[in-house]
Structure 1
Amino acid sequence: MNRWEELTGGTSGEDYAARFAALADSGRDMHGEARLCAALAPAGARVLDAGCGTGRVMIRLAELGYDCVGVDVDASMLAVARRQAPELPWVQADLAALDAAALPGATAFGLVVAAGNIFQLLAPGTEAEVVSRLAATLRPGGLLVAGFGLDEAHLPVRPAITLADYDAYCAAAGLTLTDRFATWDARPYEGGGYAVSVHRAALG
């Protein structure tokens, strides 16, 4: 069982969606992740939302013209996503067992986004495997963009990995760090409890 399932019991989709709807209604900007992805990937690029949850990021990227696929292990979250955007491809799968060849579409992804503390909420010990499997979905030169908390002030659980750990997993998967930000609005990372990391696949 992953740490997300331990926290929620796999039944949190409606509550999660309601919380973000309330934030949107309050005037909060809900599209920072999608905006950064759009700044990094050319229009129309193929995007994998890894740990897509209720689909907030992916639905916005699809509205911006990206060719998106969403993957999540939590059926309750995917039920919300499918209700909100039934025309988009939503796949229930464990990222630690993700088979790139089984995903909808015939081509590799230009960008994989993992928002929402995905890497801190995996089953302990699977982080390197998940990075490897996500890297395997990328086309040459494609990007893996991941944002997650690094301390208990920015996470609902104790942190499982450090940035050094994550960079090592990415390096082992053939990915190179190109940028690191403190937020999804691309403020430079100068230390602190949250980071958004951009790693690039080799060109070939």
Structure 2
Amino acid sequence: MTKVQADPGHSAWYVDRFRNLAAAGEDIVGEARMIDTMVPRGARILDAGCGAGRNGGYLHHTGHTVVGVDVDPTLITAARTDHPGPQWIIGDLAELDLPVRGIPEPFDIILCAGNVMTFLAPSTRTDVLRRFHQHLSPAGRAVVGFGAGRGYPFAEFLTDAERAGLVPDLLLSTWDLRPFSKDSDFLVAVLRATTAPQP
């Protein structure tokens, strides 16, 4: 919400941006296509930091059960308007507790795209990753993508993930499966749940 407080028009701009890209025929669901290949049809998917619903909407239409969560009410309203079908929820990822809201868990996969991790307050990053761990099935995976130079070094993120009980199965540099290297300016981390989170 810090971003919205600093720029009250940001949410409306963001919604319009992706509507315009879609209307122009641009590919705006590359992240969702990757997720679709990782799970069987009918999987339970959590779109964490779902924004205006572009990825969750696509995954719903390919036959998955999707729950999308975002802290921004403007974005959730747009998701409900543009992509009916998934369950869209206003909520803080650092306080994520979907069973309390009557939403069954666990999830087969969690998608966290759009640089969401870099928009979080640094003090809540590990808490968010712990919440991901708590909402995953034993064989589930969390897929998190964000760019370099946004105040959250990749090595720090991977350390936080390990503290949260999540370890990498695969590190990529793009959503189209290019390998990650020390020079990559983007990270897509496919994480699996292992031990309980560290205190």
Per the normalisation by structure 2, the TM-score is: 0.90
Segments of 5+ residues of structure 1 without an aligned counterpart are: 152-158
2:192 aligned with 1:200, yes or no?
A: yes
Shift of 1:136: 0.7
Deviations along 1:138-181, whole A, 9 cap, x unmatched? Answer: 01021110110111xxxxxxx22111111111111211101111
Deviations along 1:113-143, whole A, 9 cap, x unmatched? Answer: 0001000001231111111111110010211
Over aligned residue pairs, what C-alpha RMSD do you find? 1.9
Aligned to 1:69: 67
Shift of 1:80: 0.5
Question: Which secondary structure does the structure 2 equivalent of 1:136 belong to?
Answer: helix
CA–CA distance in structure 2, aligned partners of residues 12 and 125 of structure 1: 23
Matches within 5 A, 1:175-190: 175-190=166-181
| Residues 98 and 104, structure 2, Cα contact 8 Å, conserved in 1 | no
Query: Could you say which structure has the greater relative contact order, defined with CA pairs below 8 angstroms and 6 or more residues apart?
Result: 1
CA–CA distance in structure 1, aligned partners of residues 64 and 101 of structure 2: 16
CA–CA distance in structure 1, aligned partners of residues 128 and 162 of structure 2: 13
CA–CA distance in structure 1, aligned partners of residues 67 and 21 of structure 2: 25
Per the normalisation by structure 1, the TM-score is: 0.88
Question: Which secondary structure does the structure 1 equivalent of 2:190 belong to?
Answer: strand
Deviates more, 1:28-37 or 1:102-111: 102-111
Shift of 1:106: 2.1
Q: Which runs of 4+ in 1 moved over 6 A?
A: none
2:105 aligned with 1:107, yes or no?
A: yes
Aligned to 2:94: 96
Question: Which secondary structure does the structure 2 equivalent of 1:146 belong to?
Answer: strand
Segments of 5+ residues of structure 2 without an aligned counterpart are: none
